[in-house]
Chains A and B, each alone.
Chain A
Amino acid sequence: MATAVRRREELEGWLFVSPWLIGFVVFTLGPMLAAAAFAFTDWNLLQAPQWVGLANVRTALLDDPLVWVSLRVTTVYALFSVPLSIALGVGIALLLNARIAGLRFYRTVYYLPSVLSGVAVALLWRWLYSPDFGLVNGILALVGLRGPAWLADENWALSALVIMSLWHVGGGVIVYLAGLQGVPTDLYEAAEVDGAPWWPRFVNVTVPLLTPVLFFQLVVGIIAALQVFTQALIMTNGGPHDATHFFMLYLYRNAFQFFKMGYASVLGWILFVYILALTLVVFRSSALWVYYEGERKIQGAG
C-alpha cells in the first residue's frame, strides 16, 4: 500500500515538473546539442551543412581578431556594469527599506523601468544621449560641463551603455529588499544595545546577512551582462570603431547576416564556456565571502 502511494506521489511529482522539463529539453537542451553539432559544420541555414571538423574552432580562436575584440568589449562592460548595478541596487533597497511615507509608491517607481522592453529603452536612451538636445548633456550643461558625444564618441560609447544598464536596477532592488527584510531585527537591536552606530551595523550585520543575495545577483548579473545585445544593435550597431562590438552582436551577425550558422554555433559555445568559467570562479570564491545564516563557521563568531 505504502509503495503504491509512493509511486503515485512520484508520478504526480514528475507530472508537476514535466512542463518545465519538456520546455527545457525542447527549447534549451535540444538547441544546445544541435549547436554543438553545427559547430563542426559550415551551415548557411538554407542548404545542407558541410562537415568541416575543427575549422570553425580554429578560426575563432586563432584567425579572427574580432572574436577577441568583442570578448574584451563585453568583459569590460560586465566589469563595470555588474558592480555598479549591485551597489546602486543595494543603496536604493536600503532607502526603500526605511519607514517613510509613500514607500509603496517609491518601490513601484523604481521597479517600473524594469518592465519596459529592451528596444523601447534603447530608443529612449538614444535621445537622452543626444549631444545637443539630450537630457544627459542638458544636466551636465547646468553645472557648466560640456558633455561628450556619447554614442558617437569612441571613448564614451561603452561608458554610455554601462550607465544605461543601471536603468534596470529596479529588478535587483526587489531582491535586495527581500534580503534586507529577512535580516533578523534582534541582531540590529543587539548592536544598538552595544552602542554600534549605523555604519558598523551595516557592515557587520546587514552586509554579511545579505551576501547570499549579493552572490545570487552577482552570478545572474555576470551572465546577463555577457549577453548584452539589444543596446548594441539598436543604438550603436557595434560602433564607433568597434567600441561597442559586443560578443552577442558578433554572434548574431555571423548567424543571421553572414549565413555562418556553424561558426556562430562555435561562438555560442565559446560564450558558454566563458560564462561557465566565470560562474565557477564566483562559486569557488563564495566560500570566502558568502555567509549563510546557520553556517557552522561564522566570521567573527569563532
Chain B
Amino acid sequence: MMVDRAVRVSRRSVLGMGLATLGTALVAACGQAPATGTPTAPPAAAEPTRPVGGAAPSAQAPATGAATGTVTFMVPGGQQEDSDFQPVFDEFAKRFPNVKATYTGAGTGYTPQYDDKLLTMLAGNTAPDVFKTLQGNFGALSERGAYRDLDPYVKADPTVQVDDFFAPHMESCRYKGKLNALPNDGAPQGTWYNVDLFKKENVALPDWDWDWAKLLDASKALTKRDAGGRATSFGLGQPSWLPWVWSNGGDMLDADGKTCLLDKREAVEAFSWIQDRAIKDRVIPSPAELTEMNANDMFTSGRLATSFGPRGSLGAFRNIKNFTFDAAPLIKGKKRVSLMGVGWTSIWSGSKAPDAAFVLTNWVCSAEGQKLRISRGFAHPSRQSLVTQDWYVNYKADKSATNGINTVFSETLKRGEARVWPAHPKEKEITVAINKQLDSLWDGKKPAAQIAKDIAADVNKILQS
C-alpha cells in the first residue's frame, strides 16, 4: 500500500478539529452557562397608584387611577387557561383604556418548565410586569427581591377590598411582613370520589365526619383485584403527605423555618399510615402503576375510587362521562388541615410601569375579573363574596352528583382548615430532598420511622447550609 504522510496528517487534523469543535460546543451547551448581563437589582418602591376616580363601572371594580402604560402578564397553563383569560383581558381593555395589557400564555402547563421560563426572564431582566408564581418558588423569589411590595398600593386603593379575600389566601401572599402578591384563585385539597364505585360496594359516602379509620375501611372494600392479583380498582389515591402530617398534629418546619420537624412522632405516624396503605394493604396504586397513568387519569378512567386534589381537578373531572363523582372534604386525622394552592399574582420589582401593572393585578384579582375567568372554568375564587354567588354555587359538571364540588373547598377555608406550603427561600431544594426519601415510602424499602429520620437529616443539612 502507498503511504502518504501528508494525507495522514491532513485526515487526522480534520478529524481532530471536527471533534474539538463539536466537543467544545456540546460541553458549552451542557454547561447552561448563565447570561453575562447585570443581575437584576430590586429597584426602590415607586409611589403607589393614587386612585383618582375615573369611570369606575361598578362598585367592585378596581379604580382606574391615573396610571397609563403598557404592561405584560404571564401565567402558566395551556390553551384552556388562555381562553379563560381572554374575556378578562377583553373587559380590561374596555374599562382601562389608558393601560395596554398584553397576555402571555407561557404554554408550559403547571409544570417546572414555567418556573424555568420565569426564572430565565427574571435573570435576563425581561420578566413580565405581572405574573403568577407556582408553589415552590414564592419564598425563593420573595427572598431574592423579585416582587414589588404591594402594601402601599393596597392601602391607597380601597377598590382592592382586601377583607373580601379568604384569610389564608391573603396570609400566603405575605413574606416576612411584605405583601408580595394578591391571590387570583386557590383552593385547599378535597376528596374526590367515584360515587358509582362506592354505591356498588355499599360503602357509605365520605362526609365531614370521616376520619382515617373510615377511609381505611372504605379503601379496603373498594380495592378489587382480578384472578392474577392485578388491581382492577384502587380504593385510595396517593395522599399528599404534608396535610396528613398536619392533620396528625405535626409540621414540616419549626416556626423559624430553621429546623425540620418531620422526625417527630406525629409525622412518623402519618408516614406510617400512608406506607401501610401502600405496602401492607396495597389499596394505593404503586409507583409502577402510576407510570401508566397518573392519579387524575386513573380516577377519570374509573379505576380509582378516591383522589385528593383542589377544585382545579375539575379541569379533568368535568369531562367524565361514564360514572358519577363528587367531592368531600379532605379526610381528617386528629384534626383536618388541608394543603391549599394559591394563584400568587405579583408585580415584578423591575417593572417599568408598576402603577399600570397594579391596575392590571387588581383587576385580575378583583371579584369581576375572577368571575369572568372562573365562571368559564373550574378554579376556586380567592374572594369570599364569589363563592356564595349563584353562578358559582350552582355550577354543574355533567356527572357531578351534588354541588359538593362547589361547597366543600370554600367551607374548608371558612372553617380555617387550610394551610399553604410554608414559603421558604430553599423550598425547592427541601422538596427535592424530601421526595427522594419518599421513594421508600411507596416501595417500602425503608420503614416510615427511618424515612422520617433521613428526611429530617437531609432537610436540616439544607437549612443549615
A268 to B30, CA, bound (A): 7
Closest to A23 in B: B25
8 Å CB interface, A91-149 against B = 126, 129-134, 149
Please count the residue pairs between chain A and chain B whose beta carbons lie under 8 angstroms apart in the complex. 181
A128 to chain B, nearest CB (A): 11
**A70 CB-CB contact with B under 8 Å:** no
Residue of B24, B144, B289 with most chain A CB atoms under a 10 A cut-off = B24
Task: Indicate whether A240 reaches chain B with its CB closer than 8 angstroms.
Answer: yes
CB-CB under 8 A for A275 and B23, given A253-B432, A259-B140, A292-B11: yes
What residues of chain B lie closer than 8 Å to A47, measured between beta carbons?
Answer: 39-42, 144-145
The answer to whether A241 has its CB under 8 Å from any CB of chain B is yes
User: Known interface pairs A38-B34, A295-B8. Does A279 touch B119 (Cβ–Cβ under 8 Å)?
Assistant: no
Q: Which residues of chain B are near A271, meaning CB under 8 Å? A: 27, 30-31
A275 to B29: give the CA distance in the assembly, Å: 13
- How many chain A residues have a CB neighbour from B under 8 Å? 71
**B144 & A268 in contact (Cβ 8 Å cutoff):** no
Whether the Cβ atoms of A46 and B145 lie closer than 8 Å is yes
List CB contacts (< 8 Å) of A233-268 with chain B. 238-242, 248, 251-253, 255-259, 261, 264-265, 268
Q: Which residues of B contact A48 (CB under 8 A)?
A: 39, 41
Q: Does B59 have its Cβ within 8 Å of any Cβ on chain A?
A: no
Inter-subunit contact B39/A46 (CB<8 Å):
yes
CA distance A35 to B42 in the complex (A): 23
Are A45's CB and B119's CB within 8 A? yes
The distance from the CB of A57 to the nearest CB of chain B, in whole angstroms, is 15
- Given the known A-B contacts A47-B40, A152-B291, A296-B3, are A223 and B432 also in contact in the complex, defined by CB atoms under 8 Å? no
- Candidate in A256, A276, A298 with the most chain B CB atoms within 10 angstroms: A256
Q: Nearest-CB distance from A263 to chain B (Å)? A: 10
Q: A251 contacts which chain B residues (CB < 8 A)?
A: 30-32
Instruction: Give A204 Cβ to nearest chain B Cβ, in Å.
Output: 14
Q: Which residues of B contact A28 (CB under 8 A)?
A: 24-25, 28-29
Whether the Cβ atoms of A242 and B436 lie closer than 8 Å is yes
A5-13, A81-89, A162-170, A212-220 - the one binding chain B: A212-220
Q: Is B33 an interface residue (CB 8 A)?
A: yes
Which of B's residues lie within 8 Å of A, judged by CB? 1-5, 7-8, 11-12, 15-16, 18-19, 22-36, 39-42, 112, 115-116, 119-120, 122-123, 140-141, 144-146, 230, 286-292, 426, 428-429, 432, 435-436, 439-440, 443, 445
